[in-house]
Amino acid sequence: MASRRALPLLSATLLVPLLVHAAAQTQVGQIQVSVTIQGECAVITPQALNFGTLGATFAAKAAQSTIDVNCSANTPYTIALNNGQNGNNASDRKLKSGTELLPYGLFSDAAHSKVWGDGTSGSLVVSGVGSGGSQPITVYGQLPKPQITPKPGTYADTVTATLIY
């Protein structure tokens, strides 16, 4: 009788180690996931600044325009304005008709006290931080009363706005 009981006991003893070795093994690893989002500015749209139609003996005239900037959120930017085609520096911009010149100014404030330029010759640049949408930045223009009555004509200048981010 002892031999009959030993056989099932022996079979169970051999089966248990096989079950232990048949259990699945687990290893854990981690995947590092990242992305870098670089700030960018997609659009800069300067609007024309027009002083209108004036008589030859006009008083000082103010006008304003906007530069629409579209930068991604939290992206710092700077807007610089050059001297125009006829100016020597930001404080000496000129409109031109033929050979005639007429001085004017571009400013970053409504009081016309902060000359908006490219950061040289005492001129300032305008800085901001992107919102992720369009941001209108106001350009204030001033056409001072001329010392000499200007000749009739259409006076114009082209100023380049540069967005740095």
pLDDT tens profile 52-85: 999 888 899 999 999 999 999 999 999 999 999 9
* Partners of residue 62 on adjacent β-strands: 142
Q: Which residue has the higher pLDDT, 49 or 120?
A: 49
Sequence-separated (6 or more) residues with CB below 8 Å from residue 48: 65
Q: Which residue has the higher pLDDT, 110 or 147?
A: 110
Dist CA 87 CA 141 (whole Å): 15
Confidence (pLDDT) at 44: 86
Amino acid occupying residue 92: D
Lowest mean pLDDT among 76-80, 118-122, 141-145: 118-122
Question: Stretch 144-165: mean pLDDT, rounded?
Answer: 94
- Compute the radius of gyration of the chain from its Cα atoms: 37
Q: Is the pTM of this model over 0.85?
A: no
DSSP state of 24: P
The dihedral built from the CA positions of residue 51, 161, 115 and 108, taken in this order, carries a sign that is positive
Sequence-separated (6 or more) residues with CB below 8 Å from residue 68: 43, 44, 45, 46, 47, 134, 135, 136, 137
Q: Which residue has the higher pLDDT, 62 or 43?
A: 62
6 token code pair: 């030993």
**Mind listing the domains of the chain with CATH numbers?**
41-164 (2.60.40.1090)
Sequence-separated (6 or more) residues with CB below 8 Å from residue 121: 89, 90, 91
35 token code pair: 């992305």
Lowest mean pLDDT among 13-27, 49-63, 100-114, 143-157: 13-27
Task: Using the predicted structure, report yes or no on whether residue 163 has a pLDDT greater than 80.
Answer: yes
Confidence (pLDDT) at 57: 85
Dist CA 23 CA 19 (whole Å): 7
